[in-house]
Amino acid sequence: MRETNKTWVTEFLLLGLSDDLQTQLLLFIFFLIVYLVTALGNVLLISLVLVDAQLHTSMYFFLCNLSLADLCFSTCIVPQALAHMFSRRKIISFTGCAAQLLFSLFLGCTECALLAVMSYDRYLAICDPMHYPLIMTWRMCGYLTLGCWTSGILVTLVDTTFTLRLPYQGDNRIAHFFCESPALLALASADTHSSQMAIFLMGVVILLAPVSLILASYGSIIVTVVRMKTTSGRLKAFSTCGSHLLVVIIFYGSAIINYMTPKSSKEQGKLVSVFYTVINPMLNPLIYSLRNKDVKRALRTVIKRRKLFSS
């Protein structure tokens, strides 16, 4: 049994991904490059959607929301991880840890819902193009987007409540590079079974349900694509679907491993979390939009306008 007379934790020590200086240097360079690409890609996409009238469609409206969530999600975690890599005392206050947990969960859960809504939007556009304009109106887009952000809030409130309500006494060393529920539960000075069950149930709502919708949507899209008469159209559609599914597998797969599988090793947990907290926010704008011809056209238009104004 744990001792009950230990002092309450007021700050946590984040152990990070590695203790080796050379490895930390490589991780610092990797994280920095990925974060810069993430910030540039997402800010660029949001800017293009705002200034180009031809991108004012439901698909790019959802993509704009996804980019905003990705940008904030990455900013909530990566800069602090970079600052801690060469810091002697990788300390974060209990309040700061709670805030990071709250915002990272909120943004991550919102992204889960947005990816599902985006897959449904593509399903309607490809499999039911006649009814697509009637169903996916601006009002419907607004309702769906509001539902995504609201679902992120609700799931976050449950997860953070069941994580932070536990007593934390004695050991304050988090075997992770940021504050995350599974890593915090490992330090709790009480039985965590009910908290783990609550987080698991929220995972069913925000992870398994959306990924099921995504797989069903893309399954229908692939069936429709197979029936296309032109080979070039099939190849283009398969390339697009394949890249989208790759992002989905990386994001949901790694999140499911950390939040919905039996306890894995601490090392595995923090390595897996790199995929959905660091890599995926960079991949989303590259895969979903910046490869798109409409976005490329909008970018060329903006560049031409800047050249005209400068001259």
Residue 300 lies in a domain: yes
Tell whether 150 is covered by a domain: yes
Within-domain flag for 45: yes
Q: At 160, which CATH number?
A: 1.20.1070.10
Q: In this predicted structure, what is the pLDDT of residue 292?
A: 76
Task: Tell me whether residue 188 is in a domain.
Answer: yes
Q: What is the mean pLDDT of the chain?
A: 88
Exposed, middle or buried by CB within 10 Å (0-12, 13-18, 19+), for 270? buried
- pLDDT (tens digit, 9 = 90+) per residue, 220-232? 988 888 877 676 6
Provide the number of structural domains found in the chain: 1
| Residue 1 or 161, more confident | 161
Amino acid identity of residue 3, one-letter, is: E
Q: For the stretch 276-303, what's the b/e string if a residue is b when 16 or more beta carbons lie within 10 angstroms of its beta carbon? A: bbbbbbbbbbebbbbebeebeebbeeee
| pTM to 2 decimal places | 0.91
Q: Is 2 among the domain residues?
A: no
- pLDDT digit string, tens, across residues 84-136: 988 888 899 999 999 999 999 999 999 999 999 999 998 998 888 899 999 99
Residue 3 lies in a domain: no
Lowest-confidence pick of 64-68, 139-143, 166-170: 166-170
Q: Which domain holds residue 156?
A: 11-306
Judge whether 64 lies within some domain. yes
**pLDDT of res. 87:** 84
Assigned domain for 92 exists? yes
Kindly state the average pLDDT of the residues 145-156. Answer: 96
